[in-house]
Structure 1
Amino acid sequence: MLNEQPSRRPAVAAWAALLQVHAALVPELDAELRKACGLPLTWYDVLLELDAAGPMRMSDLGEKVVLSRTRVSRLVAELESNGLLSRETNPDDGRSALVAISDLGRQRFREAAPHYLDGIERRLGAQAEPGELEAMAATLRKVLGATDLAPPRPRRR
Structure 2
Amino acid sequence: MDLRKVFDDLVRFETDLWNGIDARLRHDGDLPLGSLNVMLVVARTQACRVNDIAAALSITIGGASQAVDRLEKRGLCTRQPNPDDRRSSIVQLTAAGRELTESAGRIFDEELAARLGGPLSASALGHLGTALATLRAATPHSASPGEKP
TM bucket normalised to smaller: 0.7 to 0.9
1:135-154 paired onto structure 2 within 5 Å: 135-146=127-138, 149-151=139-141
* Structure 1 unaligned regions, length at least 5: 1-7, 153-157
For residue 105 of structure 1, report the CA deviation from its aligned partner. Answer: 0.7
Aligned residues: 142
> Under a length normalisation based on structure 1, what TM-score does the superposition of the two structures give?
0.83
> Under a length normalisation based on structure 2, what TM-score does the superposition of the two structures give?
0.87
Pick the structure with greater CA Rg: 1
CA-atom RMSD, angstroms? 1.6
For residue 82 of structure 1, report the CA deviation from its aligned partner. Answer: 1.3
Aligned residue among 16, 38, 42 for 2:34: 42
**8 Å CA contact 1:54, 1:100 repeated in 2:** no
Per-residue displacement from partner, 1:119-146 (whole Å, max 9, x unpaired)?
1111121111110000000111112223
In structure 2, C-alpha distance between the alignment counterparts of 1:57 and 1:140, rounded to whole Å: 26
In structure 1, C-alpha distance between the alignment counterparts of 2:108 and 2:121, rounded to whole Å: 20
Q: Could you tell me which amino acid in structure 1 is paired with residue 94 of structure 2?
A: S
Aligned-pair identity in percent equals 25
* Structure 2 unaligned regions, length at least 5: 143-149
Q: Could you tell me which amino acid in structure 2 is paired with residue 150 of structure 1?
A: P
**8 Å CA contact 2:43, 2:93 repeated in 1:** yes
Aligned residue among 105, 110, 126 for 1:113: 105
Aligned to 2:146: none
For residue 116 of structure 1, report the CA deviation from its aligned partner. Answer: 0.5
For residue 151 of structure 1, report the CA deviation from its aligned partner. Answer: 4.0
In structure 2, C-alpha distance between the alignment counterparts of 1:136 and 1:14, rounded to whole Å: 13
Distance 1:79 1:38, change over 3 A: same
Aligned to 2:55: 63
**8 Å CA contact 2:58, 2:141 repeated in 1:** no
Please list every run of at least 4 consecutive aligned residues from structure 1 whose deviation after the TM superposition is greater than 3 angstroms. none
For residue 79 of structure 1, report the CA deviation from its aligned partner. Answer: 0.5
In structure 1, C-alpha distance between the alignment counterparts of 2:76 and 2:44, rounded to whole Å: 15
In structure 1, C-alpha distance between the alignment counterparts of 2:23 and 2:83, rounded to whole Å: 38
Q: Which one has a larger percent strand, Structure 1 or Structure 2? A: 1
